[in-house]
Amino acid sequence: MSDTNTVPANSAAIPIRMGIIIAAISVILFTICNMFLISNLIVYFISVFLCFVIQVVLMGVTGAQQRKAIGGYISFKDAFRAIFIAVLIFVIINTIYSYIYMHFIDADFSTKMKDASLKFAEKMGATQDKLDLAAKQADEKLEQSKHLSSQLLSFFWSLVIYSIFGFTCAAIVKKNKPENQQML
């Protein structure tokens, strides 16, 4: 008996296209958030969260499109494979763009983030000692983030986190053929 849920040879077309689409949307939203919303930290973090939700929804769309393209049925493994290809593409693009953005497009981004964080902490009633400590920690974190090892670690953590959500999306979109149809 052959597995009728197999994915055709050109199965990467949809995940590659969706990975690029998700990356493009993410880059645009990332840029908007960082250029226009950074001054209000609450709005900024809500926007970043909404961007994340959009990415996860589009990961599910990737799996659903792959299922439709191969006849309406897809195994968990094949759904996750399609989603993971899209995730890998958009995480690579986002990591590269984030690096370029923070080092060349808006080299003051880290300073803006630090200032916005300190302003928010001050508004919440933090003492001067706590503000000074937070500023020192932000400076140390900024220095660490410039190292390649930090960039690679960030890339791998993003890949792991998105893969976990990819598992969930794959479980939602998987649809096995009913037993009586597999025999045909």
**Cα 138 off chain centre by:** 23
CA distance 22 to 30: 12
**Whether the predicted pLDDT of 7 surpasses 50:** yes
Residue whose entry in the numeric block shows the structure tokens 């920690």: 137
pLDDT higher at 126 or 23: 23
Q: For the range 174-183, what are the long-range contacts, defined as Cβ-Cβ under 8 Å and sequence gap of 24 or more?
A: 174/63, 174/67, 174/74, 174/75, 174/76, 174/79, 175/67, 175/72, 175/73, 175/74, 176/5, 176/73, 176/75, 177/4, 177/5, 177/73, 181/4, 182/1, 182/4, 183/1
pLDDT in tens, 66-80: 999 999 999 999 999
Q: What is the pLDDT of residue 6?
A: 56
The larger pLDDT score, comparing residue 137 to residue 179, is at: 137
Query: Is 0.95 topped by the overall pTM?
Result: no
DSSP 90: H
pLDDT in tens, 46-66: 999 999 999 999 999 999 999
